[in-house]
Amino acid sequence: MPWQSIGFETYSAAFSTITAKVLVVGAGGSTFNNVGATGGGGGGGGNVTYNSGYTISSTSPITVTVGNYVANNDGQSSVFGTITSIGGHMSYEYFKTYKGGNSGSGKLGAGDAYGAGGGGGDSANGTLRSHTTPFAGGNGGDGTQVTISGITSVYYGGGGGSAGPGTGGAGGGADGVKGDGSSAQNGTPNTGGGAGGSLSATGGNGGSGIVIVRYTSSTQRGTGGNQIYQVSGDWVHVFTASGTFTPTA
Q: State pLDDT tens for residues 113-159.
A: 888 899 999 999 999 987 777 667 899 999 999 999 999 999 999 99
CA 113 to chain centre: 29
Q: Are strands 78-80 and 3-6 parallel, antiparallel or unpaired?
A: unpaired
CA 23 to chain centre: 10
Please write the tens of the pLDDT for every residue from 95-108.
777 899 999 999 99
Least trusted range by pLDDT, from 16-25, 30-39, 130-139, 191-200 = 30-39
pTM > 0.75? yes
Strand partners, 6: 9
pLDDT band of 217, cuts 50, 70, 90: very high
Quote the CA–CA distance of 224 and 1 in Å, as a whole number.
Answer: 19
**Contact status, residue 90 vs residue 14, Cβ threshold 8 Å:** no
Strand partners, 62: 245
Does position 83 have pLDDT exceeding 90, yes or no? yes
For residues 93-128, one letter each, b for 16 or more C-beta atoms within 10 angstroms of the residue's C-beta and e for the rest, the string is: beeeebbbbbbbbebbbbbeeebbbbbbbbbbbbbb
pLDDT band of 236, cuts 50, 70, 90: very high
List all residues 6 or more positions away from 142 whose beta carbon is below 8 Å from its beta carbon: 121, 122, 123, 124, 155, 158, 159, 169, 170, 171
pLDDT band of 205, cuts 50, 70, 90: very high
